[in-house]
Amino acid sequence: MKPLLIKLLITLTLSAPLHSTYAGESILVQSTTSTANSGLYDFILPLFEQQTNIKVNVVAVGTGQAIRNARNCDADVLLVHAKSSEEKFVEEGYGVQRLDLMYNDFVIVGPQNDPADINEADNATDALSKIAAGKALFASRGDNSGTHKKEVSLWQATSIDPTTDSGRWYRETGSGMGATLNVSVGMNAYTLTDRATWISFNNKQQHKILLEGDSTLFNQYGVILVNEKKCPDTNSHAGQKFIDWMTSPEGQQRIAQFTLDDQQLFYPNAAPQ
């Protein structure tokens, strides 16, 4: 065989790092997708990594899966947005303590012509009722994520069970926020999304925000250190440093400075230490 080809093969395969080649400390953060996909981590983490020499590895999955992975001890820090699930996680001993980190809000997006007239709706409950009454297409995450949990709670307030119409006007994608927005745009459906993902989403086409500003659409992000009593291999020391920094005035200020298209995506609200 060609010596060049053999050389190339050997170089490539032998140089494959089996473990992380990073020499210093590192932590693993199981995170919700909106924070990662919007570019927040790319904006704030370099500063933290430079100051502390701790490398932060982020696995971005839905909140439901992030919590499940953290339960399996495959995380040092959990950063998600489903308060009751987070509190349960801590109560069961998997997390040390849950801290508020920042917030933004959910919005309902839909086709520009707004077939169910939710633009006229008084609040989220009213909007969802209109969608159900008009049997307008609605794309749901259907994946037990933080956004999906919020959506379920909003439907509960309307006393409508949309899942009885699942597969008809109510479409459960079972996918991440971005994938669901792609579906929503593709089939002209309404969707509940967090504002950060929507602002950073590049395939909006004719879709736009049709309902926002309702207090029930509040979206709180929390941060939790995984408990070393349950997970002995957790890097608590570095994980705690990360949480301390994120909730410090400096970290909070950095979160507030992150903008896309001149819009602030996350509003810091950690309690002063």
Partner 1 sequence: MQDIWQSFELAWTLIVNLNPALSEIVLLSLRVSLTATLIACLVGMPLGALLGIRHFRGKWAVTVVLNTFMGMPPVVLGLLFYMVLSASGPLGWLQLLYTPGAMILVQVFLILPIVTALTKQIIEDAWVEYQPLFQSLCVSRSGAVKTMLWDTRTSLLTVSLAGFARAISEVGAVIVVGGNINHLTRVMTTAIALETSKGDLAMALALGMVLLMIALTVNAMVFSARQRLPV
φ, ψ of residue 79 to 5 degrees: the values are -130, 100
Nearer to partner 1, 129 or 197 (CB): 197
Contact between 226 and 29 under an 8 Å Cβ cutoff? The reply is no
Q: Does 231 bind partner 1 (CB under 8 A)?
A: yes
Out of 40, 44, 54, 60, the only residue in the binding site for partner 1 (CB under 8 A) is 60
Q: Does 15 bind partner 1 (CB under 8 A)?
A: yes
Quick one: residue 262, left, alpha or beta (phi over 0 = left, psi -120 to 50 = alpha)?
Answer: left
Out of 80, 177, 223, 225, the only residue in the binding site for partner 1 (CB under 8 A) is 177
Out of 144, 188, 200, 269, the only residue in the binding site for partner 1 (CB under 8 A) is 200
Q: Does 73 bind partner 1 (CB under 8 A)?
A: yes
φ, ψ of residue 56 to 5 degrees: the values are -105, 115
| Binding to partner 1, residues 202-221 (CB under 8 A) | 202-204
φ, ψ of residue 38 to 5 degrees: the values are -75, -15
Out of 201, 245, 258, 266, the only residue in the binding site for partner 1 (CB under 8 A) is 201
Across 13-149, the runs of DSSP E, i.e. the strands, are 25-31, 54-60, 77-80, 95-111, 138-140
| H/E element, 129 | helix 124-133
| Binding to partner 1, residues 112-151 (CB under 8 A) | none
Number of residues that bind partner 1 (CB under 8 A): 41
Out of 51, 72, 156, 206, the only residue in the binding site for partner 1 (CB under 8 A) is 72
Q: Does 181 bind partner 1 (CB under 8 A)?
A: yes
In a 13 Å sphere around the CA of 158, the CA atoms on its Cβ side amount to: 19
- Residue where the block lists tokens 């309690």: 271
Span interacting with partner 1, options 141-149, 163-171, 179-187, 244-252, rule CB under 8 A: 179-187
Q: Does 44 bind partner 1 (CB under 8 A)?
A: no
Nearer to partner 1, 20 or 206 (CB): 20
Q: Does 153 bind partner 1 (CB under 8 A)?
A: no
What is the biggest distance separating any 2 CA atoms in the chain, rounded to whole angstroms? 72
How many beta carbons lie within 10 A of that of residue 133, not counting itself?
10
Give the nearest distance from C-beta 7 to partner 1 in angstroms: 12
Span interacting with partner 1, options 1-9, 114-122, 126-134, 246-254, rule CB under 8 A: 1-9
Nearer to partner 1, 31 or 247 (CB): 31
Contact between 105 and 200 under an 8 Å Cβ cutoff? The reply is no
Task: Provide the sign of the torsion angle of the four alpha carbons 203, 209, 210, 211, taken in this order.
Answer: positive
3-state class (DSSP) for residue 267: strand
Binding interface with partner 1 (CB under 8 A): 1-2, 5, 8-9, 12-13, 15-20, 22, 28, 33, 37, 42, 57-60, 69, 71-74, 176-179, 181-182, 185, 200-204, 231, 233
